[in-house]
Structure 1
């Protein structure tokens, strides 16, 4: 299958103030966040993306634009409502320090699959819509551009953690063990038999090797030779 880059938006003033921004409009990247987004765009400059998909919220659109600024002209950008931030309901706009003492907070930390935010969305529903959107887009990208295609989705921290949990075969209750920092890049390749989680939560390093990634096949016994190993797709079946 194609390769999808899960990109979190850069830092915002809500992040630094400890506010759960949720879907509130008008939350933009701060100066550090703009620098982070530009750095991520530079990291991806050597990876020709066939498409960039983004959450409709401003902080993701701004990060997506920083990525597109380093891509060839005409690289398509598409807004996907299903990768928007979780609907935190009445928690939206509140400070994390005020939410931490609430009983639901402990459930969010320890049993997120049981959480429905008051007046909002369940974390299970958030994961389901995000996974459906990304897997559908990934299949469409491969059908149009072939199995070597690379594309990016710019979205939010909890969504990326939920997407990674799905790809890793982890129960949603374990997704708090994962991290997705501002403007980080995680790399997932959905094979025909299983996903291959290539990298998580990276904020530095060369990604140009993604241009020559082999198809997802059987896992190399012993770990293989890394990116570019000609045997990496040896078990792939048509």
Structure 2
């Protein structure tokens, strides 16, 4: 089955403002996010992409714009099911304020029980995202073959939930996963199990090319990143 490349959108104005954006309209990339997006075509240069699928939200479309300009043969497909979690009444509020809400601890410790007032539950978010991935896997394999690679541009909590599913983790463990802005996570799906090839990678991606096309594997350097005790709801702004 195909290899899925999950790209989180670049850093947004909401990320830097410490606001939980959700589906709030008009949330764009900030200056750093635009620079991250501009670097994406070079990072993916050696990887043939069968298709590009995107969340409908502005910050994802802006992230993909440089890649699509570099590869005009790719027409993006918009997929509502990989749009951001519907945080309902929490949308547009400061994360520092939300941390005082009783629901915050549930989101941190027992996310499978978390449902946002006026929005959706994290269980529903994971279910729709995983359903979308599985349906796109079948479509890509049917149209492009089992060795095909395709890309989805989506959001931090969506990526964490998809990775948790691929690893066979309960949703209550998904806050142990991080995905920085414009990071790349890659999952190769097979008949027996998924394989997590990259997680929140912000460096060289040449090793993701199909084996017969990949050059010598590049070494990876570890990087240090400070984290607070709580998971970054919505994905956070990434490393400083």
Same fold (TM over 0.5): yes
Say which SS state the counterpart of residue 212 (structure 1) adopts: coil
CA contact (8 A) 1:5 1:185 kept: yes
User: How does the TM-score come out when normalised to structure 1?
Assistant: 0.87
The residue aligned with 1:114 is 113
Runs of 4+ aligned residues of structure 1 deviating over 3 Å after TM superposition are none
- 1:34 is the counterpart of 2:26: no
Q: Give the whole-Å Cα distance in 1 for the aligned partners of 2:96 and 2:206.
A: 37
Q: Give the whole-Å Cα distance in 2 for the aligned partners of 1:103 and 1:130.
A: 26
Point out the more displaced range, 86-95 or 32-41.
32-41
CA contact (8 A) 1:20 1:96 kept: yes
CA contact (8 A) 1:187 1:199 kept: yes
The residue aligned with 2:186 is 187
The residue aligned with 2:237 is none
- Paired residues in the alignment total 215
CA contact (8 A) 1:45 1:70 kept: no
Q: Give the whole-Å Cα distance in 2 for the aligned partners of 1:213 and 1:12.
A: 36
User: How does the TM-score come out when normalised to structure 2?
Assistant: 0.86
Matches within 5 A, 1:99-138: 99-138=98-137
Q: Larger radius of gyration, structure 1 or 2?
A: 1
Q: Give the whole-Å Cα distance in 2 for the aligned partners of 1:86 and 1:138.
A: 22
CA separation of 1:103 and 1:187: change in aligned 2, threshold 3 A:
same
Q: Give the whole-Å Cα distance in 2 for the aligned partners of 1:213 and 1:101.
A: 52
Q: Give the whole-Å Cα distance in 1 for the aligned partners of 2:27 and 2:42.
A: 23
Q: Give the whole-Å Cα distance in 1 for the aligned partners of 2:11 and 2:208.
A: 27
The alpha-carbon deviation at position 70 of structure 1 amounts to 2.9
Q: Give the whole-Å Cα distance in 2 for the aligned partners of 1:59 and 1:76.
A: 17
The alpha-carbon deviation at position 167 of structure 1 amounts to 0.3
Q: Give the whole-Å Cα distance in 2 for the aligned partners of 1:180 and 1:93.
A: 21
The alpha-carbon deviation at position 209 of structure 1 amounts to 4.4
Deviations 1:158-192 (A, max 9, x none): 00000000000000000000001000000001110
Q: Give the whole-Å Cα distance in 2 for the aligned partners of 1:157 and 1:89.
A: 17
